[in-house]
Chains A and B, each alone.
Chain A
């Protein structure tokens, strides 16, 4: 490329020299100068390019996150094909598999599954390997070829991740997804989820996943129509969430409302219901449900008076 440019410049110089003599010397100088200038800028900008592959991985992940799938494929593929670092190649193959699973409209779950397996084989005990296993199960769970997932198989596959790498974050996530599949309406499955979630809480009393685990257990109790237990878990989920993020949670209005209506209509706990209706009114005065919360507080007050008078409202 550079040689071709040099030939072009020399031809141009000779041509201008013959045709116009002295008059064109200034033009020749300008022309040559501009070519050299452009080449210089190009060289300089090339020299600023990141020299290593590892600096391209964040870009590839960013492209995937924000839906620039073609660019993500190009970048992951290029790293997977040219990197000599096994860990880097594994991560690139893992990223590529995710793109083929998640891209729309050209998703290719079968290809994604193959790439997850390929990445896994590169280094089965690495950190990325556990994520590859989770990714592989997510393909079967979220994009099942039969339309509806084979829940028994999906749960077993999540369990395999939990058994293989119990302390890996992928295993914790697998546990949550596994339990969620038990809460789709069947009472026996909900009971099974309650005992698994209880066991998890007794083993991981300080886990950052407590709000989710309590939330799942509240859902199970809702399916089992156990209003008291549901309310206890909703309160525990809020408490754990506040302990973990120190009250940084951006919006608790829906949580307050949910606790209030559970206490009101499922558990029959008038005090707790009133407390959380009030918190919604006080802390989120512009929330749409404030109107209903105020109506509910007035209704609960009237009910309490009826109870005090010895009757039922």
Chain B
């Protein structure tokens, strides 16, 4: 008996190991069964948004989807942003990836492109059809692509010639302000959106001190926030430069076009639109903290949260976080950037409209090829992309919906993008010494050591001297883009030669599209750019003026019968 007990005690470690193994196996089995009872489709969705709002929003929508589809269960896997790239790589390579993955973070673009091609299912067929969850709404017969405010521009991968993702939210930049402090210091409930009234409020705030005797800072500026002010406000007076400098008439002034226009005298740095930009910059940054060019975003947020500063710019991505950081100690308002009135003596002529904001849907998800249920995964994304659900999801998260007609949270109303507007056309970036000189001179301007006349004089000299050489240096490696296109073409050609999984005909269509859209005209465009900067492409009159011959033709044509049928 004793010998038997001794013998059994020797087996004890094995018994413990085996028992532990059986216990863990049973536990895993029970958990899995609980998550995915037999006959239930489990959809796993992986993303990097650890903000509570995102997880709450996705959970709530998942429960609603499950109610509609009782055989489906949706589980979330929220992975920290810092490790998302590695996690995605191991999951995809190991064929253990969730059914749905958020796309775009943690890896370089070429790697994502390669993953999208290899591990994700193209969604083009779903994108060109109406969303089934739009049935009974005004979007019922509209292809999914056209239900988006941005037409799903970012979901289409030119290299793959496919729509690969379904985006769910939009983002924008606006002005946040301390509503309580504004009321106390100025008596106003809202921040004015007319430029002169806005400056006047800033002046009023800057004159007052808090209970510790410290002066209030009107605008929590930093080098991070400066970029937002520049893009959304200071650049606007430069828009009309396109009428003089946009030689290829595509609506934008390229750096080569700008150099050519300066070289042949169609424009120079004393152009009043350029001068207005710097005057506006000077007027607004007066109300930034002293030495703002040395301050970071966090320092600006600190000034705002501590109620030392009253106004701050940031994006929708920060909106909820900012409310939490201020700990609800004061009420936050959101306002649009101020605009000069049409009759403003200094800016009315130059600011033709607000800053154009390209609708750009992000927070994008793709369906993995390893998914056992790709149809259900796609269907869940379509559910989230329906107007009603998209509105609901973004209301919970605190972001802007991506679908046309979806209502925006009242708190974010001011974030409604400007779909008609203007942009900066002072493109002086020729690289090399030119851009270094520009940075030096604008830094001196920002700290008040030189005025705009001095900046323009010194820069124009450097620009004319070094511009051509810098542009040629910048263009030295221009064929790189052609070689990358050639690489895509080689892959598609190879698939046509061997007969790829998506068929040679499909590869042929993609192939021709890349040749026609990206490869054929690049060399022509480059040659024209080089001729422009060398002064060999003089256009007379300026690009957006009619020559006398064209005007005469136009007048003559008015009495001629027009061709009745134009394409489309």
> Residues of A with Cβ closer than 8 Å to B?
23, 26, 54, 57-58, 60-62, 64-68, 91, 95, 98, 101-102, 104, 127-128, 131, 138, 142-143, 173, 176-177, 180-181, 183-185, 208-209, 211-212, 215-216, 219, 227, 235, 238-239, 242, 247, 250-252, 254, 257-258, 261, 264-272, 275, 279, 284-286, 288-292, 294-295, 303-304, 307-308, 312-313
Q: How far is the CB of A58 from chain B (nearest CB, A)?
A: 5
B554 and A307 contacting across the interface, CB-CB below 8 Å: yes
11 contacts between A and B (CB under 8 A): A54-B498, A65-B491, A66-B118, A98-B490, A142-B483, A173-B515, A219-B524, A238-B567, A254-B250, A265-B249, A265-B546
- Excluding A66-B113, A181-B523, A211-B516, 19 further A-B contacts by CB distance (< 8 Å) are A58-B498, A62-B117, A62-B495, A64-B491, A65-B488, A66-B110, A66-B117, A104-B480, A177-B520, A184-B524, A185-B536, A209-B512, A250-B156, A265-B249, A269-B554, A288-B358, A291-B356, A303-B554, A312-B555
Q: Which of B422, B479, B558 contacts A304 (CB 8 A)?
A: B558
**Which residues of A have CB within 8 Å of B551?**
268, 312-313
Specify which of A68, A101, A250 is in contact with B114 (CB 8 Å cutoff): A68
Residues 481-531 of B contacting A (Cβ, < 8 Å):
482-483, 486-488, 490-495, 497-498, 500-501, 512, 515-516, 520-521, 523-524, 527-528, 531
Q: Is the CB of B494 within 8 A of A61?
A: yes
**Taking A67-B487, A257-B250 as contacts, is the C-beta distance between A269 and B494 under 8 angstroms?**
no
Tell me whether A127 and B497 are in contact (CB under 8 A): yes
Asked if residues A104 and B557 are in contact (CB atoms below 8 Å), the reply is: no
Contact B493 A131 (CB under 8 A): yes
Residues of chain B whose beta carbon lies under 8 Å from any beta carbon of chain A: 10-11, 14, 110, 113-114, 117-118, 149-151, 153, 156, 249-251, 352-353, 356, 358-359, 419-423, 479-480, 482-483, 486-488, 490-495, 497-498, 500-501, 512, 515-516, 520-521, 523-524, 527-528, 531, 536-537, 543-546, 549-555, 557-558, 562, 566-568
- Interface secondary structure of B, over-half rule: helix
Choose one: A58, A64, A209; the contact of B487 (CB below 8 Å).
Answer: A64
- Give the residues in chain A near B555, CB-CB below 8 Å: 307, 312
**Contacts known (A143-B479, A271-B562, A286-B151); A23 close to B10, Cβ less than 8 A:** yes
Contact partner, A65, options B480, B492, B545, B562, Cβ 8 Å: B492
Query: Contacts A54-B498, A286-B151 hold; do A143 and B483 have CB atoms under 8 A apart?
Result: yes
Neighbouring A residues of B491 by C-beta, 8 Å: 61-62, 64-66
Q: Are A288 and B558 touching (Cβ within 8 A)?
A: no
Tell me how far the C-beta of A262 lies from the nearest C-beta in chain B, rounded to whole angstroms.
8
A238 to B568, CA, bound (A): 9
Contacts of A264 in B (CB 8 A): 546
From B420, B521, B557, name the one whose CB has the most chain A CB atoms within 10 angstroms. B420
In the bound assembly, the distance between CA atoms of A289 and B421 in angstroms comes to: 9
Which residues in A have their C-beta under 8 angstroms from that of B550?
A: 227, 265-268
Q: Is the CB of B566 within 8 A of A272?
A: yes
A275–B479 alpha-carbon span in the complex (Å) = 37
Q: A180-B523, A247-B568 are in contact. Are A212 and B516 (CB under 8 A)?
A: yes
Main secondary structure of the interface of A (DSSP, over half): helix
Chain B residue contacts of A181, Cβ below 8 A: 523
Asked if A286 and B359 make an inter-chain contact with CB atoms under 8 angstroms apart, the answer reads: yes
Q: Flag if A65 contacts B487 (CB, 8 Å).
A: yes
> How many residue pairs, one in A and one in B, have C-beta atoms under 8 Å apart?
182
> Using Cβ atoms and an 8 Å threshold, which residues of chain B touch A177?
520
| A66: nearest chain-B partner, CB-CB | B114
Please, which residues of chain A bring their CB within 8 A of the CB of B552? 268
A105 → chain B, closest Cβ, in Å? 11
The reply to whether B558 and A128 contact each other, CB–CB distance below 8 Å, is no
User: What 3 A-B pairs are tightest by C-beta distance, nearest first?
Assistant: A65-B491, A61-B494, A268-B553
Enumerate chain B residues within 8 angstroms of A173, measured Cβ to Cβ: 515
Q: Which residue of A lies closest to B145 (CB)?
A: A250
- Please indicate the chain B residues that have their CB under 8 angstroms from the CB of A239 in the complex: 567
List of B residues within 8 angstroms of A143 by Cβ:
479, 483
Q: How far is the CB of A17 from chain B (nearest CB, A)?
A: 17
Quick check: B524 and A180 within 8 Å, CB to CB? yes
Establish whether residues B419 and A64, one from each chain, have CB atoms under 8 Å apart when the complex forms: no
Give every chain A residue within 8 A of B543 (Cβ-Cβ): 265
B residues within 8 A CB of A238?
Answer: 567-568
Contacts of B566 in A (CB 8 A): 235, 272, 275
**A292 to B498 Cα, complex, angstroms:** 48
Determine how close the nearest CB of chain A comes to the CB of B557; give it in whole angstroms. 6
CB-nearest residue of chain A relative to B512?
A208
In the assembled complex, the CB of A197 is this many whole angstroms from the nearest CB of chain B, namely 12
- In the complex, what's the smallest C-beta–C-beta distance from B183 to chain A, in angstroms? 36
A311 to chain B, nearest CB (A): 9
With A61-B491, A265-B249: A294-B557 Cβ-Cβ less than 8 Å: no
Closest chain A residue, CB of each to CB of B14: A26
Specify the chain A residue showing the minimal Cβ separation from B491: A65
Q: Which residues of B contact A312 (CB under 8 A)?
A: 551, 555
Bound together, the chains give a CA A58 to CA B280 distance in angstroms of 58
CB distance from A180 to the nearest CB of B (A): 6
State whether A185 and B486 are in contact (beta carbons under 8 Å apart), knowing that A54-B498, A215-B516 are contacts in the complex. Answer: no
| A57: chain B residues within 8 A (beta carbon) | 494, 497-498
Contact between chains at A288 and B487 (CB < 8 Å): no
* Least CB distance, B510 to chain A, in whole angstroms: 11
Determine the distance from Cα of A209 to Cα of B114 in the docked complex, in whole angstroms: 29
- The docked-state distance in angstroms from the alpha carbon of A294 to that of B495 is 45
A306's nearest neighbour on chain B, judged by CB, is B555
- Distance in angstroms from A187 CB to nearest chain B CB is 12
Q: In whole angstroms, what is the CA distance A54 to B490 when docked? A: 17
A67-B114 in contact (CB<8A)? yes
What residues of B have a CB within 8 angstroms of the CB of A102 in the complex?
483, 486-487, 490
Across the interface, do A270 and B558 meet the contact criterion of CB distance under 8 Å?
yes
Give complex CA distance A294, B118 in Å.
Answer: 43
| Chain B: CB-nearest residue to A296 | B544
In the complex, A26→B515 CA distance in Å?
Answer: 67
Contacts of A247 in B (CB 8 A): 568
CB distance from B171 to the nearest CB of A (A): 15
Name the CB-closest residue of B to A236: B567
The docked-state distance in angstroms from the alpha carbon of A209 to that of B517 is: 12
Q: In the complex, how many angstroms separate the beta carbon of A211 from the nearest chain B beta carbon?
A: 6
Cβ contact within 8 Å between B557 and A271: yes
Q: How far is the CA of A45 from the CA of B552 in the complex (A)?
A: 78
Min C-beta distance of B521 to chain A, whole Å: 7
Within the assembled complex, what's the spacing in Å between the Cα atoms of A286 and B417? 10
